[in-house]
Amino acid sequence: MKFFVDSADIEQITALNDLGLADGVTTNPSIIAKSGRDFKQVVAEICAIVTGPVSAEVIALDADNMIAEGRELRKIADNICVKLPLTMDGLKACKVLSGMGIPTNVTLCFSANQALLAAKCGASFISPFIGRLDDINIDGLELIEDIRMIYDNYGYETEILAASIRNVNHIKDCALLGADVITSPPDVIRKMAYHPLTDAGLASFMKDWKKTGQTIL
Burial (CB count within 10 angstroms: exposed 0-12, middle 13-18, buried 19+), residue 87: middle
How far is the C-alpha of 11 from the C-alpha of 40, rounded, in Å?
17
How far is the C-alpha of 133 from the C-alpha of 137, rounded, in Å?
7
Count CA atoms closer than 13 A to 117's CA, side-chain side: 20
How far is the C-alpha of 143 from the C-alpha of 48, rounded, in Å?
33
**111 secondary structure, DSSP code:** S
How far is the C-alpha of 148 from the C-alpha of 160, rounded, in Å?
7
**129 secondary structure, DSSP code:** B
Beta carbons of 69 and 93 less than 8 angstroms apart: no
Q: Is 83 a catalytic residue?
A: yes
Beta carbons of 179 and 148 less than 8 angstroms apart: yes
Which residue in 40, 83, 120, 210 is the catalytic one?
Answer: 83
**Residues known to be catalytic:** 83
